[in-house]
Structure 1
């Protein structure tokens, strides 16, 4: 077992650290929390563009897409150095990490230059149109239709939970183009500019923060989308779907590990019960880091372990939720203090925002839903890791 990195990885890390030391935005700017929304402040656009121009935005990609052909382990230390400073490479994370990446993977060279590069350079922003009122975890049940009409598709339907749609310039939208095909085989993907006639975006607040208008309902009424905006092949959208959700999945666990270690820094036990809970948090955080390192090493060798990644996602999201629940119980009434106050027990979120323990606890539910619910992860583990029957 090797617990250190090779020289090439450490040299890569050293170069990135030198870049960060020389170019980090002002600390006052960085405390603003990035949401999926595309309303990016000017300084953040400049920061993202600087990262792109120097190959530090998505280092695993080639230089023309803001990278430097980095290995997986080099990408990992890149993420580590960002998380240690509590800074972000983009205020449009879905646009950069999922949508631009999907266009690079499945789009034509013209689409890559027209859409992916401007997203990566923070010139335009993008949101992801996947979930629908009756198609959340079971995405293949989506009903939003796109019918070919000459050199356009006519789109009708609804999306929901579309983070940042009200500010986005374009939506990567999953639509049904063959209603008679098996549900996984009749899906296509369109890039839909949000200024087209027939699109209505309705932002709504989350339970965590009534002022946080990040989620959206999006309605499509006879929206005419140029056929050239089709990403990938017609009716082959499920392959794009799995690719979109697969981008950066090898390091999805890292965000949960960061949040759990943030809890360790903020949760100060005062009773025996608190100390037991704290010890559980320490063990879970350590286990997540170790299991994540094993999965990362396996991926670096070219092995794919979907079930193992599901274990990490399940452990990270649910252990963080349990720990936040313990912390909220330990703080009592003080844990309900609104994050804008300066009363005791107001913790600092990983993103630099002050948040009450209640606020932090409520936000953990998103982690058990987004990217595949805990139920979906358990099904994957049961079928692919434990070889249990489907029924």
Structure 2
């Protein structure tokens, strides 16, 4: 299968390449690394603001929200060009890609002005308060409560795995406002500034490194939140959640396809993979690109195919993990220290591309968890693709 694009898409690509050639920060400018997924160094704030002002932050958005009303195919080639350079458009990906996008879909004009635009312009950073102890991928099991008290809600409860919360200015927080409603109902969404009295944020290390502080526990004790900070109608948070994760999942398969293609270079059979493992990596890479491109074509025609996104997510995330595991097995003890990349480090890359094969394998688990675990995706596939009954 050979992907080709209409002239307007290729003109769009050429314009973006020209912008990158002229404006991409140099390594000398980008001296400070990001410390978490909500920590944006000052030079990176300037870079994100330039993208916003030029309409290149989220091209499918209208101009007032950092875009240029691009089509889905134009968005695709935009992401392709970022991938070729192994760079990202924001050091606060969940703030830009999930939280601001959710506010544009469900928020009031005031919320868009006061929260979404500052997040998109890197004036504020945001984190997603969704997972809880005992309620990770199962949002319906959340227990953090918000009780209405006049023109405020009083919030009590706990979140966990909240990436970047200790560096974020605001949390998009899912709370239960009607404990008597069925589990999928009675959920609301609140914007809670992290400096609100009663909010306690505690970062903790990941398995990758003791100084890799991105995950957090967040505690809410009698936190008063204005009703005007509610996103969407009361008790309609399930719809907001589906929309929030929908923003994350639409082209999520492309990130895995790009990563597999990076691995074709980084995990060359002479360095990491045996011939069988490399052949499997090649086949997985081509299969994901083929299936994803077919889904992209349907999306460009306005067809909605949510179950296919689940298939692509499982295929992509598990192919990345399988390749990383096989490479680690092959290189043996050297995998604990040897760099797992052939390309030079890039200051605009959120990934640690100078990390070892071991770290790269550990990080692959994020792909099988974030955006909906493989287990949840298989349930969706079973019910909506294969037509099997619910358990």
Q: TM-score range by the shorter chain?
A: over 0.9
> Per the alignment, do residues 371 and 33 of structure 1 end up closer, same or farther by CA in structure 2, a change over 3 Å counting?
farther
State the secondary structure of the residue aligned to 2:388: coil
The whole-number CA distance in structure 2 between the counterparts of 1:60 and 1:250 is 13
> Per the alignment, do residues 270 and 125 of structure 1 end up closer, same or farther by CA in structure 2, a change over 3 Å counting?
closer
State the secondary structure of the residue aligned to 2:156: strand
* Residue number in structure 2 paired with 1:107: 107
State the secondary structure of the residue aligned to 2:165: coil
The whole-number CA distance in structure 2 between the counterparts of 1:87 and 1:263 is 16
Aligned residue runs from structure 1 range 308-327, under 5 A: 308-327=308-327
State the secondary structure of the residue aligned to 1:214: strand
CA RMSD of aligned residues (A): 1.9
State the secondary structure of the residue aligned to 1:387: coil
The whole-number CA distance in structure 1 between the counterparts of 2:289 and 2:57 is 24
What's the offset of the Cα at 1:95? Answer: 0.4
State the secondary structure of the residue aligned to 1:179: coil
Q: Which moved more, 1:109-118 or 1:25-34?
A: 25-34
Residues matched between the structures, number: 386
The whole-number CA distance in structure 2 between the counterparts of 1:281 and 1:64 is 41
What's the offset of the Cα at 1:327? Answer: 0.7
* Residue number in structure 1 paired with 2:299: 299
Question: For each residue in 1:93-116, what CA deviation from the matched residue of structure 2 results, as whole angstroms up to 9, or x when unmatched?
Answer: 000000001111001111100000
State the secondary structure of the residue aligned to 2:389: coil
Aligned residue runs from structure 1 range 1-391, under 5 A: 3-28=3-28, 37-270=37-270, 274-337=274-337, 351=351, 353-391=353-391
The whole-number CA distance in structure 2 between the counterparts of 1:272 and 1:74 is 35
Question: For each residue in 1:216-256, what CA deviation from the matched residue of structure 2 results, as whole angstroms up to 9, or x when unmatched?
Answer: 00000000001110000000000000000001422101111
The whole-number CA distance in structure 2 between the counterparts of 1:271 and 1:144 is 48
Question: For each residue in 1:53-87, what CA deviation from the matched residue of structure 2 results, as whole angstroms up to 9, or x when unmatched?
Answer: 01000110100000010000001111111111111
The whole-number CA distance in structure 2 between the counterparts of 1:100 and 1:225 is 19
The whole-number CA distance in structure 2 between the counterparts of 1:257 and 1:295 is 13
* Residue number in structure 2 paired with 1:340: none
TM-score with structure 2 setting the length = 0.95
> Per the alignment, do residues 345 and 132 of structure 1 end up closer, same or farther by CA in structure 2, a change over 3 Å counting?
closer
State the secondary structure of the residue aligned to 2:13: helix
Q: Which moved more, 1:194-203 or 1:345-354?
A: 345-354
Q: Which moved more, 1:244-253 or 1:131-140?
A: 244-253
The whole-number CA distance in structure 2 between the counterparts of 1:243 and 1:383 is 20
Q: Which moved more, 1:117-126 or 1:27-36?
A: 27-36
State the secondary structure of the residue aligned to 1:59: coil
**Alpha-carbon contact 1:86-1:352 (below 8 Å) kept:** no
What's the offset of the Cα at 1:209? Answer: 1.5
Where do 5+ consecutive residues of structure 2 fail to align?
A: none
TM-score with structure 1 setting the length = 0.95
Where do 5+ consecutive residues of structure 1 fail to align?
A: 338-342
**Alpha-carbon contact 2:33-2:41 (below 8 Å) kept:** no
What's the offset of the Cα at 1:306? Answer: 1.2
The whole-number CA distance in structure 1 between the counterparts of 2:181 and 2:34 is 39
State the secondary structure of the residue aligned to 2:222: strand
> Per the alignment, do residues 390 and 292 of structure 1 end up closer, same or farther by CA in structure 2, a change over 3 Å counting?
same
State the secondary structure of the residue aligned to 1:225: strand
**Alpha-carbon contact 2:340-2:360 (below 8 Å) kept:** no
The whole-number CA distance in structure 1 between the counterparts of 2:36 and 2:184 is 27
> Per the alignment, do residues 95 and 244 of structure 1 end up closer, same or farther by CA in structure 2, a change over 3 Å counting?
same
**Alpha-carbon contact 2:57-2:66 (below 8 Å) kept:** yes
The whole-number CA distance in structure 1 between the counterparts of 2:138 and 2:319 is 24
What's the offset of the Cα at 1:270? Answer: 4.3
